[in-house]
Amino acid sequence: MLELQRSVIFGQFVDTGSPVHRLDVRVKLVATALLIVASFLVDGFLGFALLLPLLVVLQIVSRIPFGYVVRGSGIFLFFLAVILVFQVFFYPGEADNVLWRWGFLSVSVEGLRFAAILGLRVLLLYHATTMLMLTTSLVDLTNGLEILFGPLQRLRIPVNELVLVGVISVKFVPIFISEVERLSRAYTARGVPFDEGGPLTRARRLGRLLVPVFVGGFRRADLLTTAMDVRCYRGGRGRTKLRRPQATRTDWLVLLLVAAWVLAAWQLPALLGT
Amino acid sequence: MTEQGDEAPLVELRDFRYTYLEGTPRAVEAARGVSFEIRRGERVGIVGPTQSGKSTVVYALAHLLRLKEGQVFHEGEDVTAPGYDRAALRREVGVVFQRPDFQILEDVVGKDVAFGPTAAGIPAKETRERVEESLEAVGLSYPEFRLRYVYALSGGQKRRVALAGVLAMRAPLLVLDEPMAGLDPRGRREMFDLFDRLGEQRELTMVMCSSSLADASLLCERLIVLQEGRVAMDGSVREVLAEADRLETLGIALPDPVALARELRKVFPDLPADTLTEEELEKALLARLGGSRA
């Protein structure tokens, strides 16, 4: 039977109670932002190699098994691989460095390097954001983003609403996935098996679920707005919080460490090269 | 084979264990060694509080999980054996899910009831006959409801449509997952009468999962009580209800007449312990009072 929750972990929150989970949410958000920036700034294999230990430490300390993250990223990794293969074949490399050519397809040294760096960038981006979501609850994520973007309210930007919409849409992904599982079970029980046939047949059967899943999504959104209405949610300013994030010295140290590490990964290769 | 098949129970779970998302940090152990047999023609109630593994057992009966070898048997055959015809199994086991919205797959009533037979490749003429027969069997008039939109139906009507969709497959084993949940007393009574009648007319084997002991004891003759993914009790309705104290420690509410009889026994210790319905209790009480007066 279909167990999609295994293959798509995007948007899930796994509470292992680790020190990463307990970190101040603002620190986690800024650290993630730093890693995202790093994924654009770092431009060489050495830089990414320097960042690797940081991600390994993050993975171990969070107590979320690496295998779970990899298995849960299967679909994403598959698409990434397809895109990278296209990058390699269509990259216009220097004529001297072409390793293989067939019609308009070619493999060049530059193409391989470009695709590898691009792949590393995307993987870093993906890992950082996935770990943020796996280790941060919906409420914390919303609170943290609201605080960080709070100053924009002076420019009359509806920060609370935007953050809430963003966070909810991300957290709807696991709900959609469990909905797909449930529907596939119903279809199977009624004679359209989702556990038989080749990958293509299965994919085609999944297509059948699109309409009911969307209809279900609208119904759920409707319910959610009603639930927020009856609890007098109005968004906007002046909302107080029961739990206010409080950064300890450890939180600041972690942030400093991540910042220093990212800076090192960005600047060290250039310094060593000269 | 047929001789053996006659002897073998219709379904059997042998030390059935199941963990959702096994091997991940979000793993949930739902069944921790459930064993029971169900014979043809039996009406079995599976009762337990929430999270006791009832729905998981339901899914296992129709092979709607990634089952492991040697745990689930249908007519004596391991359903995970290579080459086992799962599609045939699912035609034999009709599952009515907890919420009708979970299993109504088409937008029009007639089309939805025809879904199963159509998927099974049954000719259009016979499918039409089955749709008519099934809708009438659940008390929905075929000409009136055939073209109705599912969205416009009431909760009770949706439940009937879902049941009709399962009946149209003519499965000999009917599995009902919380069939009375969310119905008012009258709706419950009607549903109960409907299941009772269908069971008799079609000689169905029935498995009914419910968190309500009262509902299950009305429809079934045997009860299996689940607790944290294990079988806590298994016996005839009277046998199970006789152990009221044990049921209470398992967190299962007793049916009203049984609870009342239990209280009354404090005053009349010689009142029989196995009164299931109000009528039985009334009779026993009158006999007791009449006896004391005489």
Per-residue pLDDT of A14-57, as tens digits, reads 999 999 999 999 999 999 999 999 999 998 899 999 999 999 99
User: B259 and B249 in one domain?
Assistant: no
What are the residue ranges in chain B where pLDDT is below 70?
Answer: 1-7, 291-294
What are the backbone angles phi and psi of residue A140, rounded to the nearest 5°? -60, -45
Helix (H, G, I), strand (E, B), or coil: what is residue B95?
Answer: strand
User: B220 and B82 in one domain?
Assistant: yes
**What pLDDT, in 10s, does the model give residues A112-143?**
898 999 999 999 999 999 999 999 998 888 88
User: B163 and B124 in one domain?
Assistant: yes
User: B204 and B288 in one domain?
Assistant: no
Count of domains observed in chain B = 2
User: B163 and B276 in one domain?
Assistant: no
Confidence of residue A236 (pLDDT cuts 50, 70, 90): low
Q: Which of A5, A192, A196 sits opposite B21 (nearest CB)?
A: A5
**What pLDDT, in 10s, does the model give residues B207-225?**
999 998 988 988 999 999 9
Closest residue by Cα to residue B100 from A220, A190, A211: A190
User: B213 and B171 in one domain?
Assistant: yes
Give yes or no for B170 touching A (CB within 8 A): no
Name residue B19's beta-bridge partners.
B29
The domain of B279 spans 255-294
Q: Give the separation between CA A27 and CA B21, rounded to whole angstroms.
A: 31
Residue from B19, B24, B56, B79 whose CB has the most chain A CBs within 10 Å, to mutate: B24
Q: Give the separation between CA B117 and CA A242, rounded to whole angstroms.
A: 55
| Interface touch A190/B25, C-beta < 8 Å | no
The DSSP code for B1 is -
Mean pLDDT of A54-67: 94
Count of C-beta atoms within a 10 Å radius of residue A99: 11
| Interface touch B116/A14, C-beta < 8 Å | no
Residue B189 has a pLDDT of: 87
pTM exceeds 0.90, yes or no: no
Residue A26 has a pLDDT of: 92
Residue B258 has a pLDDT of: 86
Mean pLDDT of A179-208: 83
Closest residue by Cα to residue B132 from B164, B156, B160: B164
Q: Give the separation between CA B290 and CA B40, rounded to whole angstroms.
A: 43
Identify the closest residue of chain A to B24 by CA–CA distance: A68
User: B142 and B172 in one domain?
Assistant: yes
Q: How many Cβ contacts (< 8 angstroms) between chains A and B?
A: 63
Helix (H, G, I), strand (E, B), or coil: what is residue A247?
Answer: coil
Helix (H, G, I), strand (E, B), or coil: what is residue B279?
Answer: helix
Q: Give the separation between CA A93 and CA A247, rounded to whole angstroms.
A: 49
Name residue B108's beta-bridge partners.
B149
Q: How far is A64 from chain B (nearest CA, A)?
A: 7
CB B16 within 8 A of CB B31: yes
Q: Give the separation between CA B242 and CA B254, rounded to whole angstroms.
A: 10
User: B243 and B126 in one domain?
Assistant: yes
**What pLDDT, in 10s, does the model give residues A79-95?**
999 999 998 888 877 77
**Parallel/antiparallel/unpaired status of strands B11-20 and B72-74:** antiparallel
Confidence of residue A237 (pLDDT cuts 50, 70, 90): low
Residues of A at the B interface (Cβ-Cβ below 8 Å)?
A: 1, 3, 5-6, 12, 14, 16, 63-65, 68, 71-72, 182-183, 185-193, 195-196, 212
Residue B75 has a pLDDT of: 92
| Interface touch B105/A190, C-beta < 8 Å | yes
Residue from B58, B64, B92 whose CB has the most chain A CBs within 10 Å, to mutate: B64
| Interface touch A190/B21, C-beta < 8 Å | no
Joined tokens for residue B271: 């009142």
Identify the closest residue of chain A to B171 by CA–CA distance: A190
User: B209 and B260 in one domain?
Assistant: no
User: B72 and B202 in one domain?
Assistant: yes
Q: In sequence order, which ranges of chain B are alpha helices (DSSP H)?
A: 2-7, 54-61, 86-92, 109-113, 115-119, 124-137, 142-145, 155-167, 185-202, 213-219, 237-242, 244-249, 256-267, 278-293
Residues of B in contact with A63 (CB under 8 A): 25
Alpha carbons within 13 A on the beta-carbon side of A61: 14
Q: Which range scores top for mean pLDDT: A212-221, A226-235, B70-79?
A: B70-79
Joined tokens for residue B77: 């055959």
Q: Give the separation between CA B17 and CA B230, rounded to whole angstroms.
A: 9
- Compute the C-alpha angle A8/A11/A16, nearest 5°: 95
Q: Considering chain A, what is the average pLDDT of its residues? A: 87
User: B231 and B290 in one domain?
Assistant: no
Count of C-beta atoms within a 10 Å radius of residue B154: 9
- The amino acid at A257: L
Element spanning A100, H or E: strand A98-102
User: B124 and B47 in one domain?
Assistant: yes
Residue B4 has a pLDDT of: 44
